[in-house]
Amino acid sequence: MSYAIGQNIMDDMKYILVMKMEIAMAEFTVEVWATHKNLGCDDCMTSSNFDTFVKAEGEMAKLMVSTYFRNCAHFLIEDQSGNVLKEVVRKVNHNTDWKIEIARTQGMEFGVEGYNEVMGYDAESMDDGNDNLVGHTL
């Protein structure tokens, strides 16, 4: 009876060792999504692979504070099997972001008046007497 118990313990130890080796050799993926991965949208902004969870976590932290990804809502780290190990979901108002982008485009085309009109500011520009338009700027 004691041989069987000892064999079970050895099998359990082998299993734990194999699992630790698999985790150590695992590849971790950092993904950034504009909306949310589970919505079915094809809006993954970036995806990078790392050999350790610590490196993946560091990259995720850098991406979250990056101005390029400021409008992204879903940051996550997955293992090779697709299991989500860490995720951050931010509330992002895409309507406001698009409004600002459209206003910038209108500002490039029509100047301050175009920008102010899209943003809902007083669209009447004031001339300061030197042919300089005065209005809201970024």
41 and 69 in one domain? yes
85 and 121 in one domain? no
Question: How many domains in the chain?
Answer: 2
44 and 68 in one domain? yes
Distance between CA atoms of 114 and 5, rounded to whole angstroms? 80
pTM (2 decimals)?
0.52
Of 18, 128, 38, 131, the closest CA to residue 87 belongs to 38
Q: pLDDT tens digits for 57-89?
A: 999 999 988 878 877 888 999 998 889 999 999
108 and 60 in one domain? no
Q: In this structure, what DSSP letter does residue 20 have?
A: H
Distance between CA atoms of 79 and 99, rounded to whole angstroms? 37
99 and 85 in one domain? no
For residue 25, is pLDDT > 80?
no
78 and 38 in one domain? yes
* Mean pLDDT calculated for residue range 115-128: 66
- Give the pLDDT confidence score for residue 23 in this predicted structure: 53
Of 85, 90, 84, 80, the closest CA to residue 36 belongs to 90
84-89/133-134 β-pairing: unpaired
Where is pLDDT greater, at 12 or 82?
82
Mean pLDDT over each residue of the chain, to the nearest integer: 76
Where is pLDDT greater, at 103 or 53?
53
Is residue 126 one of the residues assigned to a domain?
yes
Domain housing 84: 26-89
Q: DSSP letter string over 24-74?
A: HH--EEEEEESS-GGGT---EEEEEEESSHHHHHHHHHHHHH-GGGTT--E
